Structures are given as structure tokens and as C-alpha cells.
């Protein structure tokens, strides 16, 4: 961040400059990319194709939970000046820290698998390339974008923000092309219903693809030293700015996810309800809505894969530095996290199956950051007067219980056990 930007921030916090909230925008925009990654595409397409607008309420609920946890993560970083991994290292026993680091690293690699494959798949379908070529190009583009970080946070935030705009614009175009039943959309958002076990599985997948472990870690790191404060009042103001940014950035991410479900429902539910894969969705879109709609879909997928892969690499770097105080060159980090994706393609594994399995890994890893975040956010010796109490704390506990409980249900189902009360 430039000296000019830091000076402008200080003027806003000291009351010498009016407005200036945009100066503090950026961390939530970067974190929001995790909520629009290729894993979301797979689950949202299956939800819309199979159940029309009926599971939109799940997308809305997942987004509200994500808002709460991202706001808490940013709050912890702002108040303590440390990210969640660093706090865990300082306050938890060493064996627990090592275990948390290993689980978090596995989750970061699983996340990157989904994101990297998504971008490569989009390029492969759009240009007719072999998937391996798409992976190579995705790797080059991702690494090139990561180089912007050398110029500070701001250039990276602008690049990621531009990719988010591409994703949003692509789905705005889809909304004009697809024949949307807006009455059905409102009904789906406001009427909770899970008609069968498959709907439950998809609902859990939506939540698992929405609340992401690496995004919770990353957000605290992006805010920890972003603005220098000299008193409690200035810190409160930054927290207020951060809360507003979280609401705006994740509202956009939520609308994009809803647009994915709406597009799939409008295009596939009547007559193509078995569409459940990204490749099938693309090939089916062309005859239904035309080549322009299909191209917009792939453009958004490529932007999603590239941007989320960049953010995933940043999160992995922060997790390693926070837990074990180790730093490796960004090119090496990028190479390590790409290896599972190349291995999956080399073994001939179906890309959609790989995306689903990555979500299972994330489901196992999710308790680590969620529980740690709640524990630190409520501690007065860590957070001081910013410690979370009352309704916000209880909402966080309830949200974590719901998410972790549903993830347990997903793992239970994937182990081959039936869920009582739901037909298949």
C-alpha cells in the first residue's frame, strides 16, 4: 500500500477528511471470491436443474452465515493485529497447532484443486483445448496475477475486483437471456423445503461450497495491519467500515450464487433436470439459450477459477506463515498446490467428481477455523472491549452448529448410511 493511501486513511480516521470509506475496501472483496469459486458452480447447477428455484433459500441462508463469519474474521484481524493462524499458534498447545496446520494445508490444497480445475475446464471448453492445455494456461495466468502482490495490497485488490465484476456481469447477461419466473424465485427464497435425501445432499453441498475454511483464515490476515490506529475510536471506525464492506461484497457474491441457481432452474429444470456437471451444462446451454449465453457462462467460470485460485494461494501462504512461521517462494507454493490437479487429470478422474471430493475434504476441515474464530472472538483478554457477546455470539454458535451438523450429514451419507426421515 502506498504512503499516499496510508496518509489518506489516517486523515479519514482522525476526522480530517470526510467520507473515504472506499479507502478501506478490498479485504472482503478478495475474500468474497471464495464464495464464487467453481465448487459453487457444480452445486448450484445441480440445485437449479434438479429442484428449480426450490433451494434458493439454502443459498440465502448460507450467505448470511458467511457474512457473519467473515465479519468476525475481519474484526479479529483489525483488533488484535494478528491473523487467525497466528492467534492459534500463540494460544493453543503445540500439538494442536501442528494438527490445525496440517488440516488447514490439506483444505487449502483441496480448495485449490477445485478452483484450478474450474478455470482450466472453462478454457478447455471455450477454446476447444485439451484439459491439460487449459491447466497450463490457468497456471501461467494465476502466477502472473500473483505478481501484482509485489506492488502491495491495492493492485491485487483492483485485479481481483475486476475479475469479480466479470463474473457478476456474465450472470447479469444470463438473467436477461434466461426465461426467469420471478414469482418462483421469491417463493424459493422464502419457503424452506427439503423434499428428499438428494435435496439434502445438494443443500449441504451448497453450504459446504459457500462457507470456506481458507476464506476465514485469509480475511483476518488481510485486515490485521491494513490501517494503523492510534486509539480505540479509530479502531471502532475501521471495524464499522469492515462490516459494511463485508455486507456489500458478500451480498454481491450471494446474488451471483443465486443467479447460478436461477439460470440452471430456468434453462434445465423443465426437460433437463438431470444436468449435474459443468460440461453438460455448457453443452446443453448452447441449443437452449444460444452460443452467447454459453460463452458468458464459460467466461464467468474462467474468471472464477483464476481469481479463486489466486486467493487460495494467498490463503495457503498465510496459513503456513501463521501456524509455523515458514515462508516459501510464491512460485513454489503455486507449484505445490497445482500438483493434485495435474495428478487428477493424469489419472483420468472425472473433473466434477474431483470437485465433489474436494468439497468433502473442506467439510472435514471447516471446524478448525470456525471453532477457533468463535473462541477468540469471545475472549476479552484477546479482543478487549471488542469481544463478541450476546446475540452475535449466539448467532455465530448457531451458524457453526448448523454448518458443521450439515457437513456431518454429508459425510454420513457419503459413507453409505441413510438419513432418517428422508426418502432417496
| Cβ contacts of 407-416, under 8 Å, gap ≥ 24 | 407/204, 407/207, 407/208, 407/363, 407/364, 407/366, 409/200, 409/204, 410/201, 410/204, 410/205, 410/208, 410/360, 410/363, 411/360, 411/363, 411/364, 413/197, 413/200, 413/201, 414/360
The answer to whether 55 and 200 have CB atoms below 8 angstroms apart is: no
Phi-psi label, residue 179: left if phi above 0, alpha if psi -120 to 50, beta otherwise: beta
Q: Please say if the pLDDT value at position 418 is more than 60.
A: yes
Cell of 396: 455465530
d(CA 353, CA 92): 36
| pLDDT tens per residue, range 385-413 | 999 999 999 999 998 888 778 777 767 77
Q: What is the mean pLDDT of residues 203-230?
A: 82
Residue 183, helix vs strand vs coil: helix
First to last CA, the chain: 53
Confidence grade of residue 107 (pLDDT, cut at 50, 70, 90): confident
User: What's residue 46's pLDDT?
Assistant: 86
Say how far apart CA 253 and CA 108 lie, in whole Å.
20
pLDDT computed for residue 295 by the predictor: 85
The confidence band for 356, taking pLDDT boundaries of 50, 70 and 90, is low
pLDDT of 417 above 70: no
79 or 16: which leads in pLDDT: 79
Nearest by Cα to 35 from 215, 176, 166: 215
pLDDT, residue 69, reads 94
Q: What percent of the chain has pLDDT over 90?
A: 26
- The DSSP 8-state label assigned to residue 14 in this structure reads T
CA 275 to CA 44: how far, in whole Å? 11
The pLDDT, as a whole number, for residue 92 is 94
Q: Give mean pLDDT, residues 88-117.
A: 86
Question: Of 376, 299, 261, which Cα lies nearest the Cα of 127?
Answer: 299
**Predicted confidence (pLDDT) per residue in 137-182, tens digit:** 888 888 888 887 776 677 888 888 898 899 888 888 888 888 889 9
pLDDT band with cut points at 50, 70 and 90 for residue 419: low
pLDDT for the residue 329: 81
What's the confidence (pLDDT) of residue 85? Answer: 94
Top pLDDT among 276 and 325 is at 325
Spatial distance between the Cα atoms of 79 and 327, rounded to a whole number of angstroms:
24
Query: Do the beta carbons of residue 366 and residue 66 sit within 8 Å?
Result: no
pLDDT in tens, 230-272: 788 888 989 999 999 999 999 999 999 999 899 889 888 887 7
Q: Which of 16-20, 53-57, 213-217, 252-256 has the lowest mean pLDDT?
A: 16-20
User: Average pLDDT of 343-351?
Assistant: 75
pLDDT in tens, 40-97: 887 888 899 899 999 999 999 989 999 999 999 999 999 999 999 999 999 999 999 9
Cell of 171: 450472470
Q: Which tens digit of pLDDT belongs to each residue from 263-313?
A: 889 888 887 777 767 777 887 777 877 878 888 888 888 998 888 888 888
pLDDT score of 380 = 94
Choice among 4-13, 295-304, 358-367 with the minimum mean pLDDT: 358-367
The DSSP element (H or E) to which 258 belongs, if any, is helix 232-268
- Give the other-Cβ count within 10 Å of 80's Cβ: 19
pTM, entire model: 0.89
**Taking a C-beta distance cutoff of 8 angstroms, is the pair 41, 301 a contact?**
yes
pLDDT of residue 34: 84
Amino acid at each position: 500500500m502506498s504512503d499516499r493511501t496510508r496518509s489518506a486513511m489516517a486523515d479519514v480516521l482522525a476526522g480530517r477528511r470526510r467520507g473515504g470509506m472506499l479507502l478501506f475496501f478490498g479485504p472482503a472483496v478478495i475474500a468474497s471470491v471464495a464464495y464464487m469459486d467453481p465448487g459453487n458452480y457444480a452445486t448450484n447447477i445441480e440445485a437449479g436443474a434438479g429442484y428449480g428455484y426450490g433451494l434458493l433459500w439454502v443459498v440465502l441462508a448460507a450467505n448470511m452465515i458467511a457474512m457473519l463469519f467473515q465479519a468476525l474474521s475481519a474484526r479479529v484481524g483489525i483488533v488484535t493485529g494478528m491473523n487467525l493462524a497466528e492467534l492459534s499458534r500463540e494460544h493453543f498447545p503445540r500439538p494442536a497447532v501442528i494438527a490445525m496446520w496440517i488440516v488447514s494445508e490439506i483444505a487449502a490444497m483441496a480448495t485449490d484443486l477445485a478452483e484450478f480445475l474450474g478455470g482450466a475446464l472453462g478454457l478447455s471448453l471455450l477454446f476447444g483445448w485439451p484439459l491439460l492445455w487449459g491447466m497450463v494456461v490457468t497456471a501461467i495466468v494465476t502466477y502472473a496475477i500473483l505478481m501484482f502482490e509485489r506492488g502491495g495490497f491495492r493492485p491485487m485488490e483492483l485485479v481481483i475486483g475486476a475479475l469479480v465484476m466479470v463474473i457478476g456481469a456474465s450472470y447479469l447477461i444470463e438473467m436477461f437471456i434466461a426465461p426467469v419466473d420471478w414469482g418462483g424465485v421469491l417463493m424459493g427464497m422464502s419457503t424452506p423445503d427439503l423434499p428428499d435425501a438428494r435435496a439434502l445432499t445438494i443443500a449441504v453441498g451448497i453450504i459446504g461450497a459457500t462457507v470456506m475454511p481458507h476464506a476465514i483464515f485469509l480475511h483476518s490476515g488481510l485486515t490485521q495491519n491494513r490501517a494503523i490506529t492510534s486509539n480505540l475510536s479509530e479502531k471502532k471506525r475501521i471495524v464499522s467500515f469492515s462490516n459494511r464492506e463485508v455486507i456489500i461484497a458478500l451480498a454481491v457474491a450471494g446474488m451471483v450464487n443465486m443467479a447460478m441457481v436461477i439460470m440452471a432452474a430456468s434453462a434445465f429444470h423443465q426437460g433437463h433436470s438431470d444436468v449435474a456437471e459443468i460440461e453438460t451444462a455448457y453443452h446443453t446451454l448452447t441449443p437452449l439459450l444460444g452460443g452467447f449465453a454459453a460463452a458468458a457462462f464459460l467466461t464467468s467460470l474462467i474468471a472464477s477459477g483464476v481469481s479463486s485460485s489466486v486467493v487460495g494461494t494467498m490463503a495457503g501462504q498465510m496459513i503456513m506463515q501463521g501456524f509455523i512461521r515458514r515462508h516459501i517462494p510464491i512460485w513454489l507454493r503455486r507449484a505445490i498446490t497445482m500438483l493434485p490437479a495435474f495428478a487428477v487429470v493424469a489419472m483420468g478422474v472425472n473433473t466434477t467428481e474431483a470437485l465433489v471430493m474436494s468439497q468433502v475434504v473442506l467439510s472435514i476441515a471447516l471446524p478448525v477455523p470456525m471453532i477457533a474464530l468463535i473462541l477468540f472472538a469471545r475472549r476479552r483478554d484477546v479482543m478487549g472491549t471488542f469481544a463478541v457477546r450476546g446475540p452475535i455470539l449466539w448467532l455465530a454458535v448457531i451458524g457453526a452448529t448448523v454448518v458443521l451438523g450439515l457437513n456431518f450429514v454429508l459425510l454420513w451419507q457419503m459413507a453409505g448410511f441413510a438419513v432418517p426421515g428422508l426418502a432417496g
